[in-house]
Amino acid sequence: MTVKPERLRRGDTIGIIAPASPPNQDNLNRSFAFLEELGLKIKLGEHVYDQYGYLAGSNENRLRDLHNMFQDKEVKAIICAGGGYGTARIAAHINYEIIAANHKIFWGYSDITFLHSAIHQKTGLVTFHGPMLASDLGKADADLQSKQFMNQLFEPGPLVYPQNLSELETMVHGHATGELIGGNLCLLVSTLGTAFEVDTKDKLVLIEDINEEPRAIDRMLNQLYMAGKLDAAAGFVIGDFNNCVPEREQSLTLDEVLAHYISLANKPAVKGFNIGHCSPHFSLPLGVEASLDATNKQLTIDSGIK
């Protein structure tokens, strides 16, 4: 069952956590002014500034911040400071009953993909794929449109991808509808064989990534293909693949790799969406019904809030 969180209202409190890698502290601190401009109050996780190697603190402390923010009645939404690596390390230890009893907006992308998938599978809660505070919104040159897409949290209503935002290309013609899932390709592949294995059956699957050579994208898509995940999907929303270029002279291009696997699946697909590690970054809810008209390059998504 799909569960939508309550919309935000001016004066609400936002909980900020760092469930993956240590965020850039200057960017994080700079992002607070943006949240305040939206009329929101800020509550920091106790361990948001922790550092433990490439992790933003120990598994136990990052998990504690996640649990505390969902349990805190004052907090109406939880926004991740950044991605990197680490959410898969805590996924199996999350008390999903806490989340199921406290339906809140949960926002992030990249490594947060693992939590999007796990939370929705275990609780049915709609979560949000969007730019994060230290990684994106708190940068000195943060994109205005990326910030504006956050307004979807205040007013329920369907979202339509703005066709003037990026150049879209139809890969396979047709029309597909289904629950929109997905996110970072690397993280989706990392769920295979676990209790949180991505379910693509009759779903619209979003994929994006960063800093992966075409051969690495090939390996990941091949694993999804062999696992039956591409054939099971209803269609594909191909987001941004930032800096996914070959490091060697002899290589297939990213476009050739994507075309190979999308043609094998032969489901409606469009590429070129500014979704992922890009600017501007179009934000959207995951776990809601969506419609992809691949022939006319139109993506419409149900509201993620109530």
Contact yes or no for 4/153 (Cβ under 8 A): no
Count CB neighbours of 247 within 10 A.
8
Which of 140, 193, 129, 163 has the alpha carbon at shortest distance from 299? Answer: 163
What backbone torsions phi and psi does residue 54 show, to the nearest 5 degrees? -85, 10
What backbone torsions phi and psi does residue 14 show, to the nearest 5 degrees? -105, 130
Rounded to the nearest angstrom, the gap between the alpha carbon of residue 165 and the centroid of all alpha carbons in its chain is: 18
| Neighbouring-strand partners of residue 55 | 52
Choosing from 21, 110, 190, 283, which is the catalytic residue? 110
| Neighbouring-strand partners of residue 170 | 270
Choosing from 135, 179, 208, 291, which is the catalytic residue? 208
Choosing from 67, 120, 277, 281, which is the catalytic residue? 277
Contact yes or no for 84/19 (Cβ under 8 A): no
Contact yes or no for 45/57 (Cβ under 8 A): no
Residue 277 bears catalytic tag: yes
Which of 203, 202, 213 has the alpha carbon at shortest distance from 183? Answer: 203
Tell me the catalytic residues. 110, 208, 277
